[in-house]
Amino acid sequence: MTQPFQWQGRTDGETQEHLRIHQVINKVSPAQFTLIGFASDEGVRRNKGRQGAKAGPDAIRRQLAGLPIHQPLAIKDLGTVSCDDGDLESAQRRLSDKIIESLTANERPIILGGGHEVAFASFQGLFDYVEQNQSGKTIGIINFDAHFDLREAPEATSGTPFLQSAQLCQKHQRPFHYLCLGIADHGNTKVLFDTADRLGCQYLRDKQLSFSQLPQAVKQLQAFIDGVDYLYVTVDLDVFSAAIAPGVSAPAPKGISTETFDELFTVIKGSKKIALFDIAECNPEFDIDNHTAKLAAYLIYQYLF
C-alpha cells in the first residue's frame, strides 16, 4: 500500500449545502461507497503501451476532492494497492482481496486505475465474492473500451484481462457474460474479433453508438443487463476521443462522446445491479490540463449521484 492520499480542497462552509467530497470522505464506516486505487502500469509495459498510468489513482482523487455534494454521501478511501516490483499477479490478488473485504462489508467498491490490467483483479474479486457467498448468481461485464482486451499472451498484460476472466469462468464452469461498448475496428486485429465471437461476447462498435443509433444500442444493452444478476462496469478512458481524453495509454482518434456514455450509463445505473465499478488507463504523464483525470472524476460522480 502507498502513503494515504491527503484529501483537501476548497472549503466554502461546513453546512450541508456547502460540502464537497473532501469534507465528507472517511467520516462514516461502513460506507456506501469505497475508493481503492490500483497504481500499476506493469500490464501496460508488458503490452508495449505508454507507461504512466501508475500515477492515475491520485490524479483522479485530486479531481474528485473538490466536487460538490448535493445529497448525503457515505464514502471512504481504502488506499492504493501498488505494483512496484513487476509482480503484477500478486498485486492483482491483493486488490481482489480488498474488493472482497469491501463487498463483504456491504460496500460498493470503486477502483481507480492504473492500467486496464486492473480489470482482471476487479473481476476476480467480484467473482470470488459471489462464489463464496451467492454461488450460482451470474456476473455480467460491461466494458466501455475501444479494445476487446481478449489478447492471448504468455503473461498477464493490460490487453489480457477479459480472456483471463473468461478462463476463470470456464475453470469454475460458470457462464462468461461480456459486453464491450465502443469497439474500434482500427484498434483490434481480426483474431480478437474471432476470439470475441468464439467466446460468445457481445459488442457494439464506436460507429454503432452515434446518437441516431442509440435506441437500438440501448435495447441490446437492456437485454444483456436483464440476463445477469450482478454487473461489473469498467471504463477504459481510451473509449473516448483523444480530444476528450488525451491522457491514456492508447489514445483514440474517434471514440464515443460523453453524451453517449451518459445515455448508456443511465440505463446501466438504473438497473441497480452494479456491484463493482472501475476506471482504467488514466495516464497523467500524457494528460493536458488534467482533462482526462477530470473526465474520470466526472464518470465516478455520475455513479455516486
Beta-carbon contacts of 187 under 8 Å, excluding residues fewer than 6 positions away, are: 146, 147, 250, 252
The phi and psi torsions of 164 (rounded to 5 degrees) equal -60, -40
Q: How far is CA 109 from the centre of its chain?
A: 10
Pick from 302, 278, 213: nearest CA to 53: 278
Q: Residue 60 corresponds to which cell in the numbers above?
A: 483522479
Pick from 135, 136, 104, 120: nearest CA to 30: 104
Cis previous bond, 72, omega within 30: no
The CB density around residue 243, as the number of other CB atoms within 10 Å, is 13
Could you tell me if 149 and 241 are in contact, meaning their C-beta atoms sit under 8 angstroms apart? no
Q: pLDDT per residue over 119-171, tens digit each?
A: 999 999 999 999 999 999 999 999 999 999 999 999 999 999 999 999 999 99
Q: CA of 53: how far to CAs of 88, 122, 257, 277, 282, in Å?
A: 14, 17, 22, 18, 5
Return the bridge partners of 236, or none.
280
Could you tell me if 115 and 93 are in contact, meaning their C-beta atoms sit under 8 angstroms apart? no
Q: Which residues of the chain have pLDDT under 50?
A: none
Reported pTM: 0.96
Place of cell 438504473: 270
How far is the C-alpha of 62 from the C-alpha of 303, rounded, in Å? 17
Pick from 163, 173, 177, 239: nearest CA to 206: 239
How far is the C-alpha of 141 from the C-alpha of 236, rounded, in Å? 13
Beta-carbon contacts of 224 under 8 Å, excluding residues fewer than 6 positions away, are: 140, 142, 177, 179, 202
Q: Residue 169 corresponds to which cell in the numbers above?
A: 469462468
Place of cell 482504467: 280
Residue 29: what pLDDT?
A: 83
Place of cell 472482497: 100
The CB density around residue 186, as the number of other CB atoms within 10 Å, is 9
Q: pLDDT per residue over 259-273, tens digit each?
A: 999 999 999 999 999
